[in-house]
A and B are shown apart, each in its own frame.
Chain A
Amino acid sequence: MPRFVLRVNGRDREIDAEPGDSLLSVLRYDFGLSGSRYGCGEGQCGACTVLLDGLAARSCVTRVGSVGAKAITTIEALAQGERLHPVQQAFLEAEAFQCGYCTSGMIMAAVGLLKTNPNPSEQEVARLMDRSVCRCGTYPRIVKAVRLAAERMRTGTAVMGGSK
């Protein structure tokens, strides 16, 4: 079994895996980064979304052998210590979740989206995040949260995430 070196949340980590193994499985079960969730394994729900070189990617259908030197960022590395990322903060304030199982993936998808489109309309958020599923149906609040985060990131008014 070949050995891969993956750049995960700023650290190089080694893993023996088949090239076709799912990145999500390695992140969750080998590296203990369980904040990325398994929802479908088909790349259809987005619960496993991580950033690869800053772009949102579905880790369940990303093969370990295809990652190469790309930097992997998971939900665990989004906050700076106690300070939440503006997207996390906006999700918290808008209470843009119910059971929370989709939340990690939604937040990572939103962070990726805002990198390429810092000022999305409601329709654009819905279109660009359409492949992420919230089975509890919290979509309208997620759209609000993403736009709230976008506004704060554009205007530099991101509030500091409190410790609780």
Chain B
Amino acid sequence: MSDLEIERYELSEPRRYTFELERREFIRLFGAGIVVAVAAADALAQETGRQRPQGRGDTPDLAAWLHIDEAGLVHVSTGKVEIGQNIRTSLSQTVADELRVPLASVTLLMADTDKTPFDQGTFGSQTTPRMAPQLAKAAATAREMLIDLAAAQWRVDRSTLAARDARIVGPEGRSLSYAELTKGQALTGTIPASPATDSRDHWKIRGTAVKKVDGRAFVTGAHQYTPDIARPGLVYGRIVRPDGYGGTLVSVDDARARAMPGVAVVRDGDFLGVIAPTERAASRAAAAVQATWNVPAGQPSSETIYEYLKKNPDRGGGEAPAIATLAMPDGVVRTFEASYRIPYIAHTPLEPRAAVAEWQDGKLTVWTGTQRPFGVRTELAEAFRIPEDRVRVIVPDMGSGYGGKHTGEAAIEAARLAKAASRPVKLVWTRAEEFSWAYFRPAGVIDIKSGVDARGQIVAWAFDNWNSGGSGLQTPYDVGAKAQLFHPAKSPLRQGSYRALAATANHYAREMHMDEMARALGVDAVEFRLRHLKDDRLRAVLTAVAEKIAPGPARDEPGRRRGVGVACGTEKGGYVATAAEVSRGSGPSPWRLDRIVIAFECGAIVNPDGLRNQVEGSVVQGLGGALFEAIDFADGRVRNGTLEQYRVPRFKDVPIIETMLLDRRDIPSAGAGESSMIAVAPAIGSAVRAFGKVDTALPIRLLA
């Protein structure tokens, strides 16, 4: 009877429901059944600390809602976006688990600004630590409401009842299905202060490796991403871009384009685009437009960018903070100084920016791939000077973003063309446009100066980051006196978020520096870190990796020289250690990556298979920035803006990856899509040092 033990309702005070919706209103909105709302105050306390804008048409206090319909099916509505990180499945697991229903009974409605509650956006690994617990509470509340309904119907003490297999079961084998209980109801529940959610020890569907809830739609090609959305009367758009950053339109000769059947040219200030009856015709028409642009001269290049960033602070109206100068304390016997350079890199999501825009009776509906549907709604409302409730943004599950799709460029462009066309317009950016006109992970310079005492202990640590960002800037090590500063700079290229943000750059610099000190002092790289590390969770992942792979100097084998490097760090509640093994062979490349060992811990694991997929994917994506990715630019133009020239990780680049997931059921779950990538580059860079001096710039390069 242990199940009943768990189900027993523990609260002694009477339940209080808030009946906010009139029955008629409820039926109009939901049909019938039970609805539990998640208050925004709880779910939003989190996200970025920014104030939530008051969008018209929002229910201001709502973050998500859960509805059990008359068929006993569960509908969850959230503004979160599925971008391949698997939250459609993991959130369904949470709800199904708390409600004691099969996973297939739960459907998530996501990211539709007219139908789902306001959400700040899907970024920062916030869905699992913030949204999932809120939905768990809503589901637990609904479950208790069902118990109340059964207790009332049977006129029995509710403490004798339990929820199981989508039914409320009582003594003497009595039971009622959720469908029977919700029939004709119009009940609104409020989450009590202490909802009876399951403890992590009692998870049944959470913690298991369930498959993606809609996997079949992907293997059959049936899933419709934004570029696949079709509308009646649809026409196709294409933008004519400036031939450099900051370009302004001087003149246009569009006679040839206009002569093409069904083609229109739209010019509005520096905006220049075409509309055509087919995608192929739009492409031909855009190519036929002769535009002259005035591109500002003297723009920085990928060679001069690092100097430029240091010389062009973005003070944001205030004074720039001083550089982290630190007087070396007494007892310092040796200092280490280095300057690390991080290039701009491109997210390169395989689904490019795209949008389908449609105006109807003054209302704009846009399907687009973005991680911030409500933010894009605001962008559209501002661009077209209309109220937000005249704009609807719908985000089909996306061909990913990696932090690169927080904005609404394609949405605005498609909407402008659709306004001119008076018909729905589809705009899909080309790969070349995506490389040049999206935004990048920030470039940066990181200067570190550290000092050690006679025992080899770090006693001083000065760390300055220009432009790449503040995430992961604080060292987790005990380093005595420290000064750590982020200096925002005026970026000549558009820049923005990226998976794990600046944590990758900051960990690269910090961990390469730790490795350099350990090598110079003749101390084992793991031992050197542990000596400066109190955090048990970080020590645990580092130790787990160390047991698998011994870092240290090159270990020669017949015909093969090997190098091993290790790095670790913590970000967004995730703890990671990564080791890399490289070898020096006889091929054209001076070294190759053979093996990655990674240990990752993010609290209680919700879906071990989904997590493993994310962690392996993070490692592979991390290889890109570590081994080859860098935007090459000059004179306001990207010089390697094709997939042929801009190398992303491919099958042959992938080494053996050994993944260890540390499950901590005693710790709340953190998000996991990002932090597992932060130690990849420094582990590889440290390993390559076995063969000589390694450049302080990414991507990793062995200096001659």
Contacts and interface: CB of A to CB of B under 8 A. Distances in A.
A101 B651 contact: no
Contacts of A134: 350
Contact of B350 (A28, A76, A92, A102): A102
Contacts of B349: 99, 101, 135
Contacts of A42: 431, 642-644
A130 B618 contact: no
Contact count band on A: 35 or more
A139 interface: yes
A30 interface: yes
Given A100-B218, A135-B648, A137-B621, A37 B654 contact: no
B279 interface: yes
Given A35-B222, A95-B211, A100 B280 contact: no
B219 A92 contact: yes
B650 A133 contact: yes
Interface residues of B, number: 62
A39 B211 contact: no
Contacts of A39: 350-352, 431, 643
A68 interface: no
Given A47-B350, A99-B398, A100-B218, A126 B651 contact: yes
A9 to B, nearest CB: 12
Interface string B518-543: 00000000000000000000000000
A22 B651 contact: no
Given A17-B280, A21-B280, A104-B221, A132 B651 contact: yes
A91 B610 CA distance: 14
Q: Give the residue among B86, B216, B642 with the most A Cβ atoms within 10 A.
A: B216
B219 A91 contact: yes
Contact of A107 (B219, B222, B284, B620): B219
A101 B431 contact: no
B194 interface: no
A152 interface: no
Contacts of A138: 613, 616-617, 620
A41 B352 CA distance: 11
Contacts, number: 177
Interface in B213-236: 215-225, 227-228, 230, 236
A139 B655 CA distance: 10
Contacts of B592: none
B616 A129 contact: no
A84 B278 contact: no
Interface in A16-69: 17-18, 21-22, 25-26, 28-30, 32, 34-42, 44-45, 47
B648 A133 contact: yes
Q: Give the residue among B219, B236, B428, B430 with the most A Cβ atoms within 10 A.
A: B219
B8 interface: no
Nearest to A21: B280
Nearest to B348: A135
A133 B576 CA distance: 26
B104 interface: yes
B280 A135 contact: no
Contacts of A130: 650-652
A34 B230 CA distance: 10
Contacts of B280: 17-18, 21-22, 25-26, 29
A42 B703 CA distance: 33
Contacts of A21: 280
Q: Give the residue among B236, B397, B400 with the most A Cβ atoms within 10 A.
A: B400
A100 B651 contact: no
Interface of B: 83-86, 104, 211-212, 215-225, 227-228, 230, 236, 278-280, 283-284, 348-352, 397-400, 402, 428, 430-432, 609-610, 613-614, 616-621, 623, 642-644, 648-652, 654, 657
Given A32-B230, A137-B621, 7 more contacts: A25-B283, A34-B228, A42-B642, A76-B221, A97-B218, A99-B83, A139-B649
Interface of A: 17-18, 21-22, 25-26, 28-30, 32, 34-42, 44-45, 47, 74-76, 78-79, 84, 88-89, 91-93, 95, 97-104, 107, 125-127, 129-143, 164
18 contacts: A32-B230, A35-B222, A39-B350, A42-B431, A44-B642, A78-B220, A89-B219, A92-B215, A92-B219, A95-B211, A100-B399, A101-B350, A104-B221, A107-B219, A130-B650, A138-B613, A138-B616, A140-B616
